[in-house]
Amino acid sequence: MSAHLLVMLLRTPERAEALNAAQWNGVIATARAERLLATLAYRLKGQVAPDALGPILESARFDAEYEKRLALWEADRAMAALAPLDVPVLLLKGAAYVAASLKAGEGRMIGDLDILVSYERIGEVEAALLAAGWEWVKPDPYDDAYYRQWMHELPPLIHRERDRMIDVHHTILPLTARPMPDAQALLADAVRLPNGLCLLSPEDRVCHAVAHMLADGDLDGGLRNLWDISCLISEIDNISALESRARHHGLHMHLARACRLVDHLYGKGKMRLTWADRLFVRRLLARNNWGSDSRKFLGLGFYVRSHLLRMPPLMLARHLWTKWRNGHRPI
């Protein structure tokens, strides 16, 4: 139930008045688990809510400001490291949202720095980052080789002094995924900010967020990702331009589902859901009053799906066999 309430508050913060203490406890725990507490804190600014909530939300906003400062500093450091190469630093996801002061960046927790560079120049970028103090995180040769052969990004690098991770992407989905987004078009239509940092075009930002949530991964943190999409779509002027862009990237079906989920959870609830959409909604709302996962089997199902999305069955079997032999156990 708590995830329902969280979604309701993000959608209609003015309904905060109606919640009782037990419901607030559930909402806070769920929002923390979904990394949405600071987002909720910004949404609830100016609303009538119990006094005890004040310091909790204030601390969440404080953390979000800190996250933002760190993310922008990392972006600045990446820009300095890549300056000699004359490669634009194209930010993806959280760092991009806060750099451009987008609505999706308000209260957003930001883990790693994600950047997109062209495939031809990825070797130079890697060398420049290594020279500037970033180091490999994955010492396992199989993981390293897997990333380089099949993934949409280099194996993650971590900065030896600042302990922050950077993911260098050359496209936005693993090469093994069915859709093949046009990475050159992503780079060609990028937008440059006054400080020199770049981000994807508004339409491509939506396409990337949709691809990340629905064509890759197991929907862990899905409520936050869907909130991103909801905010990003609200900043699009021309929906048909977005639709044709998604078609170009092979993501139109994913976009359509994302629009339905956004409408159902964060919008007016006017669109018809398919039966599969309903499974997604269940998975997204699988948090109980204590903030813990309330649908373990459904979660496992989406975990399996995430692997099927990523790899054809034979390849998946080989991958799982290798990981199992190396001692990896899921969950």
Partner 1 sequence: MKHSCMLSIGPASFRIGSPWRAPIDALRELYAAYPPVKSGIADYTVRLEPAGTGRRWFRPSIAIAGDHMLADAAPMALRHGLLAAEMGMNLQMALGWRRHLLIHASSAEKDGQALIMTGESGSGKSTLAAMLGECGWRFMGDEFALIDLVTGSIHSFPRLVSLKNAAIDVMRGIVKAPARFGPLMEATPKGDIAHLVPPADAILHMRDPAEPALLLFPRFGFASELRGVSKGEAFVRLTQASTNYVALGEAGFHALHHFVDTVPAMALDYANGEEALAAIDQLWEVRS
Nearer to partner 1, 26 or 250 (CB): 26
∠ CA 241-216-234 to the nearest 5 degrees?
A: 35
Nearer to partner 1, 63 or 243 (CB): 63
Q: Any alpha helices (H) in the chain, and if so which ranges?
A: 2-11, 21-33, 37-43, 53-82, 93-99, 122-131, 141-150, 183-188, 202-214, 222-234, 239-248, 252-266, 275-284, 296-310, 313-325
16 binds partner 1 (CB under 8 A): no
Q: How far is the CB of 277 from partner 1 (least distance, A)?
A: 30
Nearer to partner 1, 63 or 126 (CB): 63
Which residue type, as a one-letter code, is found at position 171?
Answer: T
Q: Which of 292, 308, 318, 321 contacts partner 1 by CB under 8 A?
A: 292
Nearer to partner 1, 26 or 181 (CB): 26
Q: Does residue 272 sit in helix, strand or coil?
A: coil
Place of tokens 């940092």: 197
Sole window of 207-215, 226-234, 272-280, 284-292 interacting with partner 1 (rule: CB under 8 A) = 284-292
Instruction: List residues bridging with 168 in a β-sheet.
Output: 115
Mask for 61-100, x = binds partner 1 (CB under 8 A)? -xx--x--x-------------------------------
Sole window of 17-25, 110-118, 153-161, 180-188 interacting with partner 1 (rule: CB under 8 A) = 17-25
Nearer to partner 1, 33 or 258 (CB): 33
Output the six-digit token pair for 259.
Answer: 């629009």
162 binds partner 1 (CB under 8 A): no
Mask for 24-63, x = binds partner 1 (CB under 8 A)? xx--xx--xx----------------xxxx-xx--x--xx
Number of neighbouring beta carbons within 10 Å of residue 262: 20
Mask for 234-273, x = binds partner 1 (CB under 8 A)? ----------------------------------------
Nearer to partner 1, 174 or 221 (CB): 221
278 binds partner 1 (CB under 8 A): no
Which residue type, as a one-letter code, is found at position 17?
Answer: E
- What Cα–Cα distance (Å) separates residue 252 from each residue in 228, 234, 244, 246, 278? 18, 18, 8, 5, 19
327 binds partner 1 (CB under 8 A): no
Nearer to partner 1, 53 or 262 (CB): 53
Nearer to partner 1, 112 or 204 (CB): 112
Q: Answer for the pair 229, 210: CB distance below 8 angstroms, yes or no.
A: yes
Q: Does residue 199 sit in helix, strand or coil?
A: strand
Place of tokens 């806070």: 28
Q: Which of 18, 21, 241, 300 contacts partner 1 by CB under 8 A?
A: 21
∠ CA 123-88-146 to the nearest 5 degrees?
A: 35
**Crossing angle of helices 252-266/222-234, nearest 10°?**
100
Residues that bind partner 1 (CB under 8 A): 20-22, 24-25, 28-29, 32-33, 50-53, 55-56, 59, 62-63, 66, 69, 290-292
